[in-house]
């Protein structure tokens, strides 16, 4: 143990298999292989950062070369081999970083060096970290030596990117997949470090560190180091201070924002978000935490406090569990879909803060089918509201079935003739029912919404049109306020909230493009006609300007 190091991640780096946490199966397998003298030619350790790949590689090297043997592996008083390996200066244990030595020449030097036996230990060992960084030629040069190395030579590889290593190399190694460290194990480990360091930190602050580290011991120790350095040794690190240091905010603020969204209080929702934003929270951190909260609301009944990875404290867990009983699952699923789409939008929008505010407002409108006055009213009132909503929907469906279906594909001029008929048929209980994309354009024209009509015809590619759901793709010329303007107008005309979503699919070509293609086709037909050819023979400089269809009387 490197007692002189001031960095916790190095100071408390495991020096034996007994010191490792979270990798019991890997440790046991390696020890059994050494005891039974069935040591493979090459080991391959893979996993996320900070779970012990390089650490296990060094412990393995010490286990193979310790003068006292595996059963009496050095812990405090190190033998010459163990001390040299710990300090990375053992002549027979070469540790190489593949990120800086990627070429085939480096591997050839390695192979050349492997021809000579060990000088002071049983095995000559090559530890290659981040082995996936080697070039294809370097891997090919290793293959033969990996498959049939000298008895005294062992390879130990470590990588975070297993898929980048050729299958031919992986198949020649004994592979170990190191798992993330469980939250409870990591929490207990950090508590033991705090005790050894004689410092004070609250359990809530430690849980926050465990959550941020995502199962990585090195990340957890680095965060702990950073948190302790912000305070004097006599002071205690609490949750509020830790949140400020690590750029995280109190989940109770997010839960309060969620409640305000469900109640439909737009002003308070925006004010609450701006308070969170002013604390220095990045929009991407906020949206990811919001997504996590939606998951907890949906699945809280099947979760335990520990299974939330200490993302919530006892009070927050209880609050979510209580509120989730009165929230419709369909609402939460829609919230999840909208949040995922907003994460994609953040990479496009330059001002991410404004995008989050618009996202929160969309969620409020999306939740409009719920009673906005009190989302947490008693179950009897909810059932009454559900019954009345169902009746209104049934009446709307019955009236929609009365509308005559027009199966013909009509061009723009024909649809204009149907305008009075559509206007008459689409009125349902004082509101307009819009059943197709073409009807939407007709109604925009009727309502003198010329800008919306232009955007729909020119810059929008329809992907799908269903009841109250429109999925589109668009070109670069689409107005930035298009979705907001169209949503407001659709609500005004139909009395219903509409979902307008962007799709990665290309969709149908725009109506203006269709008209242009039709016109080009007519021009081609006319230019290939006998009449036009006869005219061209008489007048060589003639140009076709326009084509008008005209019915001739008998």
Give mean pLDDT, residues 419-430: 42
The Cβ of residue 175 has, within 10 Å, a number of other Cβ atoms equal to 15
Inform me whether the pLDDT recorded for 157 exceeds 90.
yes
The pLDDT value recorded for residue 170 is 92
Let me know how long the chain is: 554
All CATH 3.30.300 domain ranges in the chain, comma separated: 411-502
Q: Closest Cα to residue 181, out of 378, 328, 14?
A: 14
Architecture of the domain delimited by 251-369: Up-down Bundle (1.20)
Q: How many alpha carbons fall within 13 Å on the CB side of residue 278?
A: 7
The pLDDT value recorded for residue 429 is 41
Share of the chain above pLDDT 70, in %: 84
Give mean pLDDT, residues 26-50: 90
Q: Which of 180-184, 365-369, 510-514 has the lowest mean pLDDT?
A: 365-369
Confidence band, pLDDT 50/70/90 cuts, at residue 45: very high
All CATH 3.40.50.300 domain ranges in the chain, comma separated: 8-177
Confidence band, pLDDT 50/70/90 cuts, at residue 192: very high
Inform me whether the pLDDT recorded for 554 exceeds 50.
no
Architecture of the domain delimited by 183-246: Orthogonal Bundle (1.10)
Model confidence, pTM: 0.57
Confidence band, pLDDT 50/70/90 cuts, at residue 430: very low
Inform me whether the pLDDT recorded for 158 exceeds 90.
yes
In CATH, 8-177 is 3.40.50.150: no
Architecture of the domain delimited by 411-502: 2-Layer Sandwich (3.30)
Each residue of 227-281: pLDDT tens digit? Answer: 888 888 788 888 888 888 887 777 788 888 888 888 888 889 899 888 888 877 8
Residue 191 token pair? 């508590």
The pLDDT value recorded for residue 177 is 92
Each residue of 528-542: pLDDT tens digit? Answer: 877 777 777 777 677
Q: What is the mean pLDDT of the chain?
A: 79
All CATH 1.10.8.60 domain ranges in the chain, comma separated: 183-246
The pLDDT value recorded for residue 367 is 66
Give mean pLDDT, residues 305-334: 77
Give mean pLDDT, residues 139-147: 87
Of 5 and 8, which is predicted with more confidence?
8
Inform me whether the pLDDT recorded for 51 exceeds 50.
yes
Q: Closest Cα to residue 129, out of 156, 93, 153, 109?
A: 156
The pLDDT value recorded for residue 414 is 43
In sequence order, the β-bridge partners of residue 156 are 43, 127
Decide: 309 and 212 in contact? Cβ < 8 Å: no
Q: CA-CA distance, 82 to 15, in Å (whole number)?
A: 9
The pLDDT value recorded for residue 253 is 83
Q: CA-CA distance, 190 to 116, in Å (whole number)?
A: 44
The pLDDT value recorded for residue 4 is 52
The pLDDT value recorded for residue 190 is 92
Residue 199 token pair? 């410092």
Q: Closest Cα to residue 265, out of 377, 384, 375?
A: 375
Q: Which of 24-33, 363-372, 400-409, 424-433 has the lowest mean pLDDT?
A: 400-409
The pLDDT value recorded for residue 309 is 60
The pLDDT value recorded for residue 549 is 64
Confidence band, pLDDT 50/70/90 cuts, at residue 373: very low
Give mean pLDDT, residues 147-176: 90
Give mean pLDDT, residues 46-67: 89
DSSP string for residues in 131-173:
GGGS-HHHHHHHHHHHHS--TTEEEEEEES-GGGS-HHHHTTS
The pLDDT value recorded for residue 2 is 52
């Amino acid at each position: 143990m490197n007692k002189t190091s001031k960095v916790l991640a190095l100071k408390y780096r495991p020096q034996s298999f007994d010191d490792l946490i979270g990798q019991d199966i890997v440790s046991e397998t390696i020890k059994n292989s050494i005891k039974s003298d069935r040591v493979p030619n090459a080991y391959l350790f893979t996993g996320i950062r900070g779970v012990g790949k390089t650490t296990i590689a060094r412990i393995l090297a010490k286990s193979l070369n310790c003068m006292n043997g595996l059963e009496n592996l050095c812990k405090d008083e190190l033998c010459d081999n163990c001390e040299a390996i710990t300090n990375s200066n053992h002549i027979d244990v070469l540790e190489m970083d593949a990120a800086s030595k990627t070429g085939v020449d480096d591997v050839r030097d390695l192979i050349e060096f492997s021809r000579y036996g060990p000088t002071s230990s049983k095995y000559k060992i090559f530890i290659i970290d981040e082995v996936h960084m080697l070039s294809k030629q370097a891997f090919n040069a290793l293959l033969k030596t990996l498959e049939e190395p000298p008895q005294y030579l062992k390879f130990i590889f470590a990588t975070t990117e297993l898929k980048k290593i050729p299958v031919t190399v992986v198949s020649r190694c004994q592979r170990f997949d190191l798992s993330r460290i469980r939250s409870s194990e990591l929490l207990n480990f950090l508590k033991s470090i705090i005790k050894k360091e004689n410092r004070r930190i609250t359990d809530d602050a430690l849980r926050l560190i465990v959550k941020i580290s995502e199962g990585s011991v090195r990340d957890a120790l680095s965060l702990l180091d950073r948190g302790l350095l912000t305070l004097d040794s006599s002071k205690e690190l609490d949750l509020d201070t830790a949140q400020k240091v690590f750029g995280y905010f109190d989940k109770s603020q997010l839960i309060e924002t969620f409640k305000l969204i469900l109640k439909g209080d737009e002003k308070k929702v925006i004010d609450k978000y701006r308070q969170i934003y002013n604390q220095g929270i990045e929009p991407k951190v906020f949206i990811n935490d919001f997504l996590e909260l939606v998951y907890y609301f949906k699945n809280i009944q099947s979760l335990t406090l520990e299974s939330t990875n200490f993302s919530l404290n006892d009070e927050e867990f209880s609050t979510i569990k209580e509120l989730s009983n009165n929230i419709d699952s369909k609402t939460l699923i829609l919230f999840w879909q909208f949040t995922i789409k907003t994460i994609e939008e953040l990479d496009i929008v330059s001002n991410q803060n404004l995008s989050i505010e618009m996202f929160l407002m969309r969620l409020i409108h999306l939740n409009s089918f719920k009673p906005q006055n009190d989302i947490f009213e008693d179950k009897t009132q909810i059932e009454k509201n559900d019954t009345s909503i169902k009746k209104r929907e049934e009446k709307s469906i019955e009236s929609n079935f009365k509308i005559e279906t027009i199966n013909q594909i009509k061009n723009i001029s024909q649809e204009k003739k149907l305008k009075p008929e559509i206007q008459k048929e689409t009125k349902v209980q004082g509101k307009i029912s819009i059943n197709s994309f073409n009807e939407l354009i007709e109604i925009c024209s009727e309502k003198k919404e010329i800008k919306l009509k232009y955007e729909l015809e020119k810059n929008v590619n329809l992907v799908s049109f269903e009841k109250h759901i429109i999925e589109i793709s668009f070109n670069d010329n689409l107005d930035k306020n298009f979705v907001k303007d169209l949503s407001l107008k659709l609500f005004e005309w139909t009395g219903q909230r509409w979902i307008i979503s962007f799709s990665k699919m290309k969709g149908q070509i725009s109506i203006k493009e269709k008209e242009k293609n039709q016109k080009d086709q007519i021009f081609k037909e006319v230019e290939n006609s006998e009449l036009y050819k006869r005219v061209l023979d008489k007048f060589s400089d003639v140009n076709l300007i326009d084509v008008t269809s005209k019915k001739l009387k008998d």
